[in-house]
Amino acid sequence: MQKIFDEVTSLDKRCYEEFFLTEDILMEHASNSIALYINQNLFDKKSILIVCGSGNNGADGIALARLLSSKFEVNLYLANEPKSYMAQQQFKRVKALNIKIIDEIFEADIIVDCLFGTGLNKPLDEKFINLINTLNSYNSFKIACDIPSGINSLGQVNTIAFESDITITMGALKTSLFSDVSKDYVGEIIVVNLGVQRDIYEIEANKFLLDESDMKLPFRNKKNSHKGSYGHLNVVAGCKKGAGIIAAKAAFGFGTGLVSVVCHENLDLPYHIMQTHFISENCSAIAIGMGLGKYETDEIRKILNKPIPKIIDADLFHDKLICEVLDQEIVLTPHPKEFISLLKLCEIADVSIEELQNNRFLYVEKFCKKYPNVVVVLKGANVIIAQNEKQYVNSFGSAVLSKGGSGDVLSGLIGSLLAQGYKPLESAITASLAHTLGAKNYKKNNYSLIPSDLVEEIRKL
Ligand SMILES: NC(=O)C1=CN([C@@H]2O[C@H](COP(=O)(O)OP(=O)(O)OC[C@H]3O[C@@H](n4cnc5c(N)ncnc54)[C@H](OP(=O)(O)O)[C@@H]3O)[C@@H](O)[C@H]2O)[C@@H](O)CC1
Ligand SMILES: Nc1ncnc2c1ncn2[C@@H]1O[C@H](COP(=O)(O)OP(=O)(O)O)[C@@H](O)[C@H]1O
Ligand SMILES: [K+]
């Protein structure tokens, strides 16, 4: 996994104060890294448009113009006069080298967006909205320098942002790149170093971006085993029985030895899934909430109070009952609408979905501070998995998963690992990665996936 930082100004400052680097050295590495990417990956292109703002993000762009001018047809566009000390220095250098500065933008083969980086400090005015709109309309290969212009430090987009194919970000990953809204703008994200290796530049962090290697699939090491060695998951089914059945199938395919659906009505289940009317004697984990609908509160309370690992989903996030179990070591998998209900029931915040989506990390942090035993999986385009002060981001998911039933598969996977004896946090991380990487492997198209396809792909991981 890779560290993510809310701000990097203090990391830059460390470079100056502890490693005796200068702003000029850091910036030369920043611009050189973009030049290197272009030289190595886009050498067949001819024209480059570099669009610069007045601060150091713009200064990176002006320096880049100098570095590429001998190999490409470089066109430098200054949206505002260079204002920061470094922007003025870089400007002096390009003027001395007679690099072409243009008054009007055009559709070049490559566009590099150096308008604003970490210093965006107010909403964009009409001029910048129009400029970014026009850049977005071009069919060029688009590179964002550090952060796509228009995304602020909280990962919010006020009106518009640059839609990049790739974001080359300086020094370390920033939280703002991983809000749900940023996902439509950042493209592929590459981190480059600023003169010291990344592990030296970076300090301790509480946020992490998950890599594929963080997925620890439930391979079986014991030779002398039997089905009971891999747990018994009970999935509590409710009004929408399909939800529980989807979860049960996902769990079985992910390694649980025995899976039963708990339901009073007789169900037509696949032959390998069992049915029970009450929680099984040897149950090692419970998945509850998905498709529950109307239910007998006392019966559900009894189940929730059993000292068995649990994954809780969906309808239970709208019931005050949930507050009775938040001291337990459980996994919760709300989507944004469910999470705002949970925040309200827990008297943490009464906010709209928009407010939550604008501040996902913040509200997860508030929740985890109050309930340190709970593992929260806040679903979305970038899933946040959190416990205590640590937050992990899974960015592998895509719109292929935007379907009813996708969340039920996830609940089943988490339940499966809990039943097999894995800890709540590792269960949530591995299940979430398997869920999104399985979806990524579905190659037909990005609209037709159904839960059974997803389970199939996960079984092949
Ligand atoms: N150590 C370093 O410093 C290194 C920095 N590096 C690079 O510097 C970037 C940070 O540079 P930065 O701090 O100068 O901020 P930046 O993103 O250029 O924006 C500030 C400028 O934009 C303006 N402005 C803001 N909002 C605006 C708006 N809505 N509409 C219009 N104008 C607006 C603002 O104007 P002002 O508010 O002052 O009037 C100011 O002039 C960072 O992302 C990385 O790329 C790397 O080279 C590595 C080393
Ligand atoms: N655009 C997207 N990008 C990434 N993941 C997505 C996207 N849309 C949905 N998902 C994922 O799909 C799942 C949907 O869950 P949920 O809304 O609870 O569905 P359901 O309850 O109908 O099964 C979540 O894990 C979510 O993160
Ligand atoms: K930028």
Instruction: Judge whether 408 is annotated as a binding position.
Output: yes
What local confidence, expressed as pLDDT, does residue 296 receive?
86
Which ligand is located closest to the Cα atom of residue 30? 1
Which neighbouring-strand residues pair with 80? Answer: none
Nearest by Cα to 419 from 316, 310, 327: 310
Q: Is the CB of 201 under 6 A from ligand 1?
A: no
Can you tell me the distance from the alpha carbon of 172 to that of 146, in angstroms, rounded to the nearest whole number? 10
- 10 Å CB burial of residue 409 (0-12, 13-18, 19+) is buried
Distance 121 CA to ligand 1 centre (A): 9
Six token digits for residue 354: 């928009």
Q: Is the CB of 314 under 6 A from ligand 1?
A: no
| Residue 190: strand, helix, or coil | strand
Residue 195 Ramachandran class (φ > 0 left, ψ -120 to 50 alpha, else beta): left
Chain-centroid distance of CA 240 in Å reads: 29
Q: Is the CB of 183 under 6 A from ligand 2?
A: no
What residue spans define the domains of the chain?
Answer: 2-204, 213-459
Note whether 112 and 60 are within 8 A (CB): no
Nearest ligand 2 atom, CA 410: 25
Q: Which CATH architecture has domain 213-459?
A: 3-Layer(aba) Sandwich (3.40)
Distance 436 CA to ligand 2 centre (A): 10
| Residue 233: strand, helix, or coil | strand
What local confidence, expressed as pLDDT, does residue 295 receive?
84
Can you tell me the distance from the alpha carbon of 47 to that of 140, in angstroms, rounded to the nearest whole number? 10
Q: Is the CB of 334 under 6 A from ligand 2?
A: no
Q: What pLDDT tens digit does each residue of the chain (461 aa) get?
A: 999 999 999 999 999 999 999 999 999 999 999 999 999 999 999 999 999 999 999 999 999 999 999 999 999 999 999 999 999 999 999 999 999 999 999 999 999 999 999 999 999 999 999 999 999 999 999 999 999 999 999 999 999 999 999 999 999 999 999 999 999 999 999 999 999 999 999 999 999 999 999 999 999 999 999 999 999 999 999 889 999 999 999 999 999 999 999 998 889 999 999 999 999 999 999 999 999 988 889 999 999 999 999 999 999 999 999 999 999 989 999 999 999 999 999 999 999 999 999 999 999 999 999 999 999 999 999 999 999 999 999 999 999 999 999 999 999 999 999 999 999 999 999 999 999 999 999 999 999 999 999 999 999 99
Instruction: Give the right CATH number for 2-204 from 3.40.50.300, 3.40.50.10260, 3.40.50.720, 3.30.750.200.
Output: 3.40.50.10260
* ipTM of this complex: 0.95
In order, the DSSP letters of 409-437 are HHHHHHHHHHHTT--HHHHHHHHHHHHHH
Instruction: Judge whether 407 is annotated as a binding position.
Output: yes
Q: Is the CB of 8 under 6 A from ligand 1?
A: no
